[in-house]
């Protein structure tokens, strides 16, 4: 039978959920096997039909290359299933995110195993936290009060931006989506400023290891399993309300049922709750109020 773990791995590939590193590892394993002329795996017609359906279902997924093993998938479900099993469990599969909304409006999506610490004095004025592991930040903009992240031997300082940061003992990896982030070594005072849509690996001992455009795949990887993407095209207001409520942990009341019929095309990605609501109010000519976790929107509705 088809290895359940290979099936999971293939499913992640077809959904575009593998990182560039993961794809490279999988490509190498399969290409190496093909080059060695490995013996094909013996499986039933039912297994083959099931696999082909899975492949056909993923033909609309954007891929960077067309592998010669896809047309011969039956021959590539290989006898060395154990190698695929090990590969699947060793890959850095997309991780679940734990969302934290700080008192200044900053959103933090902690990756599995990451922790965020801050003192009781954290406020709109004193915006300093300590990160262990990896997280995606949507920092509320405040030019007067920089947001500071202590991560091991490095310190990140930002005003208002969105970025993914991953710190280890030896280096810090940063992917900036919007704005700018300054990374400084706490021991050598070396620093690097990373701009929008730049990816950097920074090390005390080696300086800037890489600095490049992260590309679509890297961007998709760092925002996976978060509610970062808030781009809408001709979307009904009821769907927008659902998404905004889920992202900011609020309850939205529309005083006019007709507002649910309104359609909006807008990009609220990387915007705070007040800015998002302001954009909605300007688009529909309505008013809103925020009372803690309760939001009320008032105005004329739209025809069906």
H-state helical runs in 79-176: 81-90
Give the per-residue pLDDT at 12: 58
State the residue range of the domain holding 286.
231-298
Average pLDDT over residues 48-64: 42
**For 66, phi and psi rounded to 5 degrees?**
-110, 115
| Global confidence as pTM | 0.65
For residues 219 and 104, membership in a common domain is answered with yes
**Torsion sign across C-alpha atoms 285, 290, 293, 299:** negative
Least confident of 134-138, 179-183, 191-195, 207-211: 207-211
User: How confident is residue 202, by pLDDT bands cut at 50, 70 and 90?
Assistant: confident
Q: How many folded domains does the chain comprise? A: 3
Does some domain include residue 240? Answer: yes
Mean pLDDT across the stretch 157-177?
89
**Could you give the CA distance from residue 47 to residue 25 in angstroms, rounded to a whole number?**
25
Is 263 found in the same domain as 177?
A: no
CA distances, 42 to each of 33, 74, 134, 213 (Å):
16, 9, 42, 43
Q: Strand, coil or helix: what is 229?
A: coil
Instruction: Provide the strand spans (E) within the chain.
Output: 97-101, 107-111, 115-117, 128-132, 134-138, 147-151, 154-158, 162-167, 171-178, 181-185, 191-194, 198-203, 207-212, 231-236, 251-254, 263-267, 287-291, 294-298
Asked if residue 278 has pLDDT above 70, the reply is yes
Is residue 7 pLDDT above 90, yes or no? no
Maximum distance among all alpha carbons in the chain?
A: 69
| pLDDT for residue 185 | 84
Which of 90, 122, 141 is the last residue in one of the domains?
A: 90
pLDDT in tens, 244-262: 999 999 999 999 999 999 9
On average, the pLDDT of the chain sits at 76
The reply to whether 56 falls in a domain is: yes
Name residues whose C-beta falls within 8 Å of residue 43's C-beta, 6 or more positions apart in sequence. Answer: 1, 2, 74, 77
Q: What is the pLDDT of residue 216?
A: 82
Percent of the chain with pLDDT over 90: 41
Residue 304 falls inside a structural domain: no
CB distance 134 to 111 below 8 Å: yes
Q: Are residues 41 and 143 in the same domain?
A: no
Structural contact between residues 145 and 128, judged by C-beta atoms closer than 8 angstroms? no
Q: In the predicted model, is pLDDT for residue 35 greater than 70?
A: no
Q: Would 187 be classed as within a structural domain?
A: yes
Residues 213 and 272 occupy one common structural domain: no
Q: Evaluate whether residue 303 is within a structural domain.
A: no
| Whether the predicted pLDDT of 14 surpasses 80 | no
Domain boundary residue among 223, 243, 274?
Answer: 223
Same-domain status, 183 and 209: yes
Q: Does 175 share its domain with 241?
A: no
Find the CATH number of the domain harbouring 279. Answer: 3.55.50.30
Per-residue pLDDT, 269: 92
152: confidence class by pLDDT, cuts 50, 70, 90: confident
Same structural domain, 190 and 84: no
pLDDT average, residue stretch 300-304: 85
- Whether residue 120 sits in one domain with residue 213: yes
- Residues 250, 270 within the same domain: yes
Q: Is the pLDDT of residue 31 over 70?
A: no
Considering the domain architecture, whether residues 12 and 124 belong to the same structural domain is answered as no
Contact by Cβ (8 Å): 177, 219 = yes
Are residues 82 and 118 located together in one domain of the fold? no
Q: What is the mean pLDDT of residues 178-185?
A: 90
Point out the domain boundary residue: 90, 121, 140: 90
Relative to beta strand 128-132, strand 147-151 is: parallel
Higher-confidence residue of 205 and 53: namely: 205
The CATH number of the domain where 184 resides is what? 2.60.120.1440
Please give the average per-residue pLDDT across 160-178, as a whole number: 88
Least confident of 92-96, 161-165, 208-212: 92-96
Residues 83 and 104 in one domain: no
């Amino acid at each position: 039978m088809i290895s359940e773990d290979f099936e999971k791995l293939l499913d992640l590939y077809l959904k575009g959920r593998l990182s560039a590193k993961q794809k490279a590892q999988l490509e190498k394993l399969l290409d190496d096997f093909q080059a060695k002329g490995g013996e094909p795996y013996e499986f039933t017609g039912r297994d083959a039909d099931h696999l082909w359906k899975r492949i056909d279902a993923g033909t609309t997924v954007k891929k960077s290359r067309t592998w010669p093993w896809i047309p011969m998938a039956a021959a590539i479900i290989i006898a060395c299933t154990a190698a695929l099993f090990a590969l699947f469990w060793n890959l850095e599969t997309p991780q679940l995110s734990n969302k934290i909304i700080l008192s200044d409006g900053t959103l933090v999506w902690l990756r599995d195993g990451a922790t965020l610490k801050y003192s009781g004095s954290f406020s709109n004025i004193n915006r300093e936290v300590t990160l262990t592991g990896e997280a995606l930040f949507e920092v509320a903009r405040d030019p007067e009060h920089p947001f500071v992240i202590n991560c091991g031997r490095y310190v990140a300082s930002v005003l208002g931006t969105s970025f993914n940061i991953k710190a280890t003992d030896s280096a810090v990896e940063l992917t900036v989506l919007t704005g700018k982030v300054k990374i400084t070594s706490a021991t050598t005072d070396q620093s690097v400023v990373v701009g929008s849509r730049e990816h950097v690996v920074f090390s005390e001992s080696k300086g800037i290891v890489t600095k490049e455009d992260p590309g679509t795949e890297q961007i998709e990887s760092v925002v996976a399993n978060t509610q970062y993407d808030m781009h809408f095209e001709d979307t009904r207001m009821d769907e927008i309300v659902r998404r905004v409520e889920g992202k900011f942990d609020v309850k939205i009341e529309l005083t006019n049922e007709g507002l649910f019929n309104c359609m909006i095309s807008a990009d609220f990605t990387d915007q705070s709750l007040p800015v998002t609501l302001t954009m909605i109010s300007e688009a529909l000519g309505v008013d809103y109020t925020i009372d803690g976790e309760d939001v009320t929107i008032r105005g004329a509705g739209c025809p069906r």
